[in-house]
Structure 1
Amino acid sequence: MATAPQAANLPLLYKDLIPLNSNDHVTWKSRLLENAKFLEGQHAIPLTIEEFVPASRTYPIIFSATDNPVPLVLMGMNEGVNTFMNEEGFFERPVYVPAYVRRYPFLLAKLRPDTEELSLCFDPTSGAVGEFEEGTPLFEDGKPSENTQAILKFCEEFENAGSQTHAFVEELQKLDLLIDGEVSIQQEGQEQPFIYRGFKMIDEAKLRELRGDAVRKLNQNGILALIHAHLFSLQLMREIFAVQVAQGKVPQVTELPST
């Protein structure tokens, strides 16, 4: 049996990872989770460019303040705060659910550093995969079931979208459009505003200064629409902050940590 990725390298949301295989999991099933408690306290979730437009109607879209920025949706303005979920692990209102969340507890991962081959893995702590009486079989006659094939296809599509998202961010960096972000929110009754930093955003001034040929290229390859979705979504930061206030989760520290 192949060695699973090391715990230290686990991505967001995943507490453990093991590869799915017909020898060890031939009788296992997958089932829907009763709630999304695994999202509890998660304030920022990765996003692919295919999701910018639908996600921009619900969440602020920012970029992580890292060497290789990643698009993120904000579910809360501060680490540990998810304003969209209640204590039972249910969304408080109908929202767009990012593909990163819908993929859980599965993902594709490299099992060995000397190969580019990706294998379907899952988080065994999720409660969604196991030797259950109920659920949908992962294997039939020792082969991946239609359910598993659909899961694999979704994970492959997610990886492809991730590659396109990486290329999109590289183009933004090439044009020097990403800058350190800052937003100031004045709460009623407070003398000083809350200042949020620790993220990146697109510089509208630099965008306006681009040459016509560069703008045409961005428009033709669809990047301009993604940029506008991001910029439009930033106004939702104040709405998220207002929900935090209503929920009694006004922060003491006002910087968005790098994610």
Structure 2
Amino acid sequence: MVDAAATEPRLTGTVPLYKNVEPLNRQKHATYGVNTVSQPFNFLKEWHFVPAISAEFAFACGSYPIIFLGDKKMPVLVMGLRQGSNLFVNEEGQFDTEHYIPAYVRRYPFVSAANPNDQPSTVCVDLDADFVVSENAERPFFDANGEPTDYTQQAIDFVSAFENDARTTEAFVERMIALDLLEKKDVKVSNPQDPENPVTVAEYFGVSSEKFDALPADKLKEMQTNGDLGAVVSHIISLQRWERILRRTSSAANAAAPAQA
């Protein structure tokens, strides 16, 4: 959080979910806060995956596939097959309460921004979040003395913990890459027009079962000690959740199709 007033520069770059991010400022945002809204998860409806931290793999693996994407092979939780369609948020902006809410989602509308020269990160807020208001907030960001309210302090603490977990996750991925455990994988579905050639609907990186099974006992012991073993096992278990994603995709498509006469 920063104290300089109206000269704050806007952050650059793209952060999934976030639209209009500013450093949280006790002067500029003195009257800001959040209100209860009827569609609290509207911000998530068009995102079919969100970044994940390794600490939540054990919780998330029962709900979503946990996969690795991009050049850096960072983990994400799959919540849909197509951009613009989250299968766990309904048309009323409500989250499917039977499933785990990712930490990345629970952090919103707050986020941290790195500063140069090893300075502490800055806590920021998405001012375009549906539930962020500029006045008459049910839960204000600051009290009458300009100090963070309990709500804001809890959010700051959560952002800090998430940032630490994100660094831990980066180190976890680096160790997986060093062990050459990640390989290209895909998800295929049958093609009624060409049964012999199924259609690839998803491509990603995942842990190679063969390479994982071939790890020596001392390496497995090391992974058990540093927590990597639990994360890898949770990831492998989570890949069974592709069936849920495919089933929900099919159900959503059928519901959207025009009724037959």
Q: Verify same fold: TM over 0.5.
A: yes
Check the 8 A contact 1:180/1:197 in 2, yes or no: no
Residue of structure 2 in register with 1:253 after alignment:
none
Check the 8 A contact 1:27/1:131 in 2, yes or no: yes
* C-alpha distance 46-249 of structure 1, shift in aligned 2 (>3 A): farther
What CA distance in whole angstroms lies between the structure 2 residues aligned with 1:75 and 1:212? 35
Q: Quick one: which amino acid aligns to residue 4 of structure 1?
A: R
What CA distance in whole angstroms lies between the structure 1 residues aligned with 2:220 and 2:98? 35
Residue of structure 1 in register with 2:51 after alignment:
46
Q: Quick one: which amino acid aligns to residue 3 of structure 1?
A: P
Cα distance, 1:54 vs structure 2: 0.9
Q: Quick one: which amino acid aligns to residue 131 of structure 1?
A: S
Q: What pairs with 1:96-135 in structure 2 (closer than 5 Å)?
A: 96-110=100-114, 113=116, 116-135=119-138
Unmatched runs of 5 consecutive residues or more in structure 1: 251-259
Q: Secondary structure at the match of 1:38?
A: helix
Residue of structure 2 in register with 1:238 after alignment:
243
| TM-score, scaled relative to structure 1 | 0.88
* C-alpha distance 129-162 of structure 1, shift in aligned 2 (>3 A): same
Q: What pairs with 1:196-215 in structure 2 (closer than 5 Å)?
A: 196-215=201-220
Check the 8 A contact 2:81/2:202 in 1, yes or no: no
Q: Secondary structure at the match of 2:124?
A: strand
Segment drifting more, 125-134 vs 154-163: 125-134
Check the 8 A contact 1:138/1:148 in 2, yes or no: yes
Q: Secondary structure at the match of 2:253?
A: coil
* C-alpha distance 174-15 of structure 1, shift in aligned 2 (>3 A): same
Q: Quick one: which amino acid aligns to residue 222 of structure 1?
A: G
Cα distance, 1:33 vs structure 2: 4.0
| TM-score, scaled relative to structure 2 | 0.87
Residue of structure 1 in register with 2:139 after alignment:
136
Taking only the aligned residue pairs, the percentage that are identical comes to 32
Residue of structure 2 in register with 1:255 after alignment:
none
Residue of structure 1 in register with 2:4 after alignment:
none
Is 1:170–2:196 an aligned residue pair?
no
Residue of structure 2 in register with 1:4 after alignment:
10
Deviations 1:146-197 (A, max 9, x none): 2211111010000011011111101100100011112223377872423234
Q: Secondary structure at the match of 1:172?
A: helix
Pairing partner for 1:193 from 198, 210, 214 = 198
What CA distance in whole angstroms lies between the structure 2 residues aligned with 1:220 and 1:117? 29
Cα distance, 1:137 vs structure 2: 2.0
Q: Quick one: which amino acid aligns to residue 175 of structure 1?
A: L
Q: Secondary structure at the match of 1:181?
A: strand
Residue of structure 2 in register with 1:25 after alignment:
29
Unmatched runs of 5 consecutive residues or more in structure 2: 1-6, 256-261
Residue of structure 2 in register with 1:16 after alignment:
20
Aligned length: 246
Check the 8 A contact 1:62/1:230 in 2, yes or no: yes
Q: Secondary structure at the match of 2:112?
A: strand
What CA distance in whole angstroms lies between the structure 1 residues aligned with 2:97 and 2:139? 28
Deviations 1:116-158 (A, max 9, x none): 3311111111132222324112112122222211111010000
Cα distance, 1:29 vs structure 2: 2.0
